[in-house]
Structure 1
Amino acid sequence: SSSILPSPPCAGCGSKVGSTALSEALRRVQQDFPALPRDAVLVGLDSPDDAAVVTVPPGQVMVHTVDYFTALIDDPFIFAQICLKHCLSDLYAMGATPYTVLATVQVPYAAPAKQSEMLYQILAGTHKGLLASGTPLVGGHTVVGPQLALGFACNGVADPTQLLRKGGMRPGDALILTQPLGTGTLFAADMQGKAKGRWIEEAIAHILTPNQAAAEIFRAHGATACTDVTGFGLAGHLLEMLRASGVTATVYLDALPVLAGAAETLAAGIVSTLQPQNLQAAAFIDPAGTSHPLYPLLFDPQTAGGLLAAVPATTVQACLTDLQQHGNTAAALVGEITTTDRAYPLTLKRE
């Protein structure tokens, strides 16, 4: 007997989530999270128009960024908060204030009712994550595909004279990192069933911590440069700052804040699949520190990582105290900016 094989899922606009599933998810989330009044949004998510329309505050500039990645945990509600924190961090690192957000969602192939439920969980997590900054979600796009994935186009506003850039660091500045490292190796271990549940639980607690307060504290303490530490790892993002500033730096390996379990998974040789590409940055690092057990952590890709900033040495202790008292409990002094008369842009120091 012959059997009829199901048609393969369509691509193009045939891959969109159906209107019934989408409308039901939106109805539920708008019921649970009433829209905050925002005079700047002329046309938003509650309108049937083709695009959002917002006004631009006079005297300010727009700051735009986008990120997108596949799910690293099974809970779509928590995953949405992680992804949103990751995407908003670029705005905070630039000294901008979030203004509007657009979402791009891919839900797995499933019956419409299941797609609608997953969309609701994603949108609910997104709205929860946006409450702290009062930023409206003004639109987005939804498709179906082989796995859950999510991204946000985040739009911010800023005073053009108060932007934080990667360049601007000066010899003598201190380097502060606000969040522990190790999400790459920990979640790689989790995928292999080799991570303890409490390690992942603690990691999620850290990566859900917004970077909003840290950015404000850095500006208040005269930060000369800032970036968020994400996919290229601490070394990759710091090297970008060093090139932009025309300086070198020393990193204190023993002072690096580390997520619980990350040292153990690194010692077991468990690293992210992006780690080998990130290791190319080693060509710009003094090889004297390569034997240190935390050396691989420099190249560990971070999801929803913290901020790395340079602040004047005279303000470092006050800045650290402020950070630790406002949610960044693991914030640490991790290095210093040095002059350019060195063989390598980045030198490593151990106790």
Structure 2
Amino acid sequence: MTYLANPARYDQTSTRPMEYRRCGNSGLRLPAISLGLWHNFGGVDVFENYRAILQAAFDNGITHFDLANNYGPPPGSAEENFGVIMKKDFTPYRDELVISTKAGYLMWPGPYGDWGSKKYLVASLDQSLKRMGLDYVDIFYHHRPDPNTPLEETMAALDLIVRQGKALYVGISNYKAEEAEKAIAILKQLGTPCLIHQPKYSMFERWVEGGLLDVLGREGVGCIPFSPLAQGLLTDKYLKGIPNDSRASKAHGFLKSSQVTPEVVARLEQLNTIALDRGQSLAQMALAWLLKDERVTSVLIGASRVSQLLDSLDCLKNKNFTEEELNTIEKVLSK
């Protein structure tokens, strides 16, 4: 069946109007909620399910899909699957989409299949473009810092990729404040500004507040947190044990059942009470809590089903926090 996108996807009077935020000092705006394909879009997952998720996302104004060379499992399969859906459903809408991918983790054996050399980054993006059936991506990231490759080489590779027309913008991910500041300076000097930084950031993971957000704000670089729900921990699904279909129950997941401790559950219960008082689910409040910071351009969510995606989008209905709410949340998080 031919996919026809919702004609009201940008309608601000719809039941779920999307907000678009300027990415740092650039001319690019991203949806406040972006969809990440880290989980649930790989070779082990169900095609019709993740196809429905991608369609529902675009139908509700999510124009940004985020991938990486190693997303799956197995590595590369998320890009391959996205390429199939891109061809089937989204080809007519390519110019409405921001598609990003990354390289920085192990993809093939030998000395050229990992980290941050120019050899690896250029080859990896060529492979990613082939898997997705694209001529270019909108954003290409270096996925993690490489301690053994000069930062100048890695950033020069990103600059080259833009000049080759294989990416419109470049970004970095998982860089600490000092590393990010140096990378941003090098890219600026090369004439290819750093568009965006993708750090791990949530109520439970707040290292970015120790200087990185200040660097990004000062330099006019966007911020798009990943794992905003701490791999699904910041939801109400773990309040009564570990569900069979949850990430903590999967062998290939990053959230381990050992992390769902009684202390964590007690904290989740308190946060859930605050969220319910705000008329939100815990997940919605956790997303809104990140979006309260104007330095955050977009929040990168995952979804295992359409209903979960739509629930996350409803966080945009209440992004405002009172001083009392923020103080109460802070007390819970500091325990």
TM-score (norm 1): 0.27
Point out the structure with max Rg over C-alpha.
1
Q: Which has the higher helix share?
A: 2
Greater relative contact order (CA < 8 Å, ≥ 6 in sequence)? 1
